[in-house]
Amino acid sequence: MSLYIKSGISTTSFISLNINDMVTFTAPQLHASLTSHFFVDYTMRVVIEGFGLKPSFQSLLTTSAQSNFARHTNIVHLYHGQDGSKVLTDSYIFSHPKLRPWGQWLPISCPSCSSLHSWSDPTRHQSTIIFACTRSGCLGLCTFPKPEGVEPVGKEVNGGRWMVKSGQW
Ligand SMILES: [Zn+2]
């Protein structure tokens, strides 16, 4: 059984309902129409062709890496551990050094001078992505260190790439 829901469910419910896989989206105001390609690909690959959901995620995400869907929401896949008593999670995060640095949103305004959309092109210091305010005289910076435990998924597409962080719920 696979189930698509928009909001939370408890670990106990997940186990007692015998749900094998669950996919959730993290966008606070999800635009469901942006998920249509994901579900068409899901239907073809998982429902019709019979591939497992977990090994299919790389393929499902690669096809969406250039769409607005990737920039709109992250995805969490919940599934049972091998003994069935644990719920494991794979959080898929879209990262683009300019649009979604390490999966984070760039602030609309500079925290120092409140200028809107005043960020420079990003620079890097080791794995940290840095944006500087371009307003004259402002030294405002916005930094995005690489989060712990994330691994790339698939290939980079137009500078963007999905990443995954695995954990336990
Ligand atoms: Zn500034």
pLDDT in tens, 16-61: 677 788 898 888 888 888 888 888 999 999 999 999 998 998 888 8
- How far does the centroid of ligand 1 lie from the alpha carbon of residue 109, in Å? 8
- How far does the centroid of ligand 1 lie from the alpha carbon of residue 132, in Å? 8
- How far does the centroid of ligand 1 lie from the alpha carbon of residue 137, in Å? 8
For the CA atoms of 99, 72, 79, 151, the dihedral, rounded to the nearest 10 degrees, stands at -10
- How many angstroms separate the CA atoms of 149 and 112, rounded? 31
- How far does the centroid of ligand 1 lie from the alpha carbon of residue 104, in Å? 19
In the prediction, which pLDDT does 9 show? 60
Tell me the pairing of strands 128-132 and 123-125.
Answer: antiparallel
Q: Which two tokens stand for residue 82?
A: 């091998």
Taking residue 108's Cβ as centre, other Cβ atoms within 10 Å add up to 11
In the prediction, which pLDDT does 49 show? 95
pLDDT in tens, 80-128: 887 777 889 999 999 999 989 998 989 999 999 999 999 999 999 999 9
- How many angstroms separate the CA atoms of 25 and 4, rounded? 9
- How far does the centroid of ligand 1 lie from the alpha carbon of residue 164, in Å? 32
- How far does the centroid of ligand 1 lie from the alpha carbon of residue 38, in Å? 38
- How many angstroms separate the CA atoms of 34 and 123, rounded? 30
- How far does the centroid of ligand 1 lie from the alpha carbon of residue 145, in Å? 20
Smallest Cα–Cα separation from 158: which of 70, 34, 42?
Answer: 70
- What letter does residue 39 receive in the DSSP assignment? H
- How far does the centroid of ligand 1 lie from the alpha carbon of residue 27, in Å? 27
Q: Is 157 helix (H, G, I), strand (E, B) or coil?
A: strand
- How many angstroms separate the CA atoms of 51 and 128, rounded? 37
- How far does the centroid of ligand 1 lie from the alpha carbon of residue 41, in Å? 43
- Residue 100, strand partner residues: 96
The reported pTM is: 0.80
- How far does the centroid of ligand 1 lie from the alpha carbon of residue 108, in Å? 11
- How far does the centroid of ligand 1 lie from the alpha carbon of residue 26, in Å? 29
- How far does the centroid of ligand 1 lie from the alpha carbon of residue 40, in Å? 43
- How far does the centroid of ligand 1 lie from the alpha carbon of residue 89, in Å? 38
